[in-house]
């Protein structure tokens, strides 16, 4: 199971929200590059970088942070938040992202996203399935749809999408444990999917549980910043 640390950005700073609530914002570091270098020094190879300003405004805002981290580390970065137009997508790729994280547009404008898959290749995208009560949520988690998560994944799996990260919105940032039962259900239905768990991870026990469930990767944010899990522990687990 691949360990993928997360950096969420607001106004160029490393922050974390609780349950996607912008009013529950905590700044952890004013210099995201420093944080990214710590992850790289710990032997981690991937990074989940989220432009929260972009997610809220519908346009990529913090691409300079991406450019800085991509240019000064060797981390494989997926970047998301505000990618709504091809111009934004090109900015993300040109700034050094290996993968573009796509969520809302895959729900609201399927034709555009399918066009991007055909143009850039399905392997260039990480599909974000943000979920509340097994239904997809969009717009920085502010809007819940009637689309079931397994229907959503199945549609894009058929178009070649391999990597999907699934976040249970109700659990994210709460350090109350991940949505393991949901992940088990999805893995059973899509055994060849590279499924990345996200949200709620608070301990090594949670990581072991997700590994046992068959998750291919796990995104960890608040548990690192709140020192619930040390980078040393993550390094050791990543190397197992």
Residues recognised as catalytic: 8, 130
CB count within 10 Å of CB 203 equals 14
Query: What secondary structure does DSSP assign to 104-136, as a single string?
Result: HHHHH-HHHHHHHHHHH-GGGEEEEEEEETTEE
Look up residue 142 and give its DSSP letter.
T
Angle formed by the axes of helices 204-213 and 180-189, to 10°?
20
The answer to whether the CB of 175 falls within 8 A of the CB of 226 is yes
Instruction: Please give the Cα distance from 142 to 162 (Å, whole number).
Output: 26
Sorted by sequence, the CB contacts under 8 Å of residue 152 that are 6+ apart come out as 106, 107, 129, 136
Residue 215 to residue 86: CA distance in whole angstroms: 31
């Amino acid at each position: 199971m691949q360990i993928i640390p997360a950096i969420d950005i607001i106004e160029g700073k490393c922050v974390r929200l609780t349950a996607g609530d912008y009013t529950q914002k905590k700044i952890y570091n004013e210099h995201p590059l420093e944080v990214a270098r710590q992850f790289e020094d710990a032997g981690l190879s991937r990074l989940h970088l989220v432009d929260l300003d972009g997610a809220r405004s519908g346009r990529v805002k913090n691409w300079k942070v991406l450019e800085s981290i991509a240019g000064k580390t060797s981390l494989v970065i997926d970047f998301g938040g505000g990618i709504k137009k091809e111009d934004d997508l090109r900015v993300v790729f040109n700034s050094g992202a290996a993968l573009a994280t796509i969520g809302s547009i895959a729900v609201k404008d399927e034709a555009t996203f399918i066009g991007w898959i055909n143009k850039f290749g399905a392997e260039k995208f990480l599909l974000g399935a943000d979920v509340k009560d097994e239904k997809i949520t969009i717009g920085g988690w502010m809007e819940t749809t009637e689309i079931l998560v397994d229907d959503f994944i199945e549609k894009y799996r058929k178009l070649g999408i391999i990597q999907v990260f699934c976040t249970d919105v109700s659990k994210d940032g709460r350090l109350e444990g991940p949505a393991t039962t949901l992940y088990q259900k999805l893995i059973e239905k899509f055994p060849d999917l590279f499924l990345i768990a996200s949200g709620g991870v608070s301990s090594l026990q949670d990581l072991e549980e997700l590994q046992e469930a068959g998750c291919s990767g796990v995104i960890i944010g608040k548990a690192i910043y709140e020192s619930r899990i040390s980078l040393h522990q993550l390094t050791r687990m990543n190397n197992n």
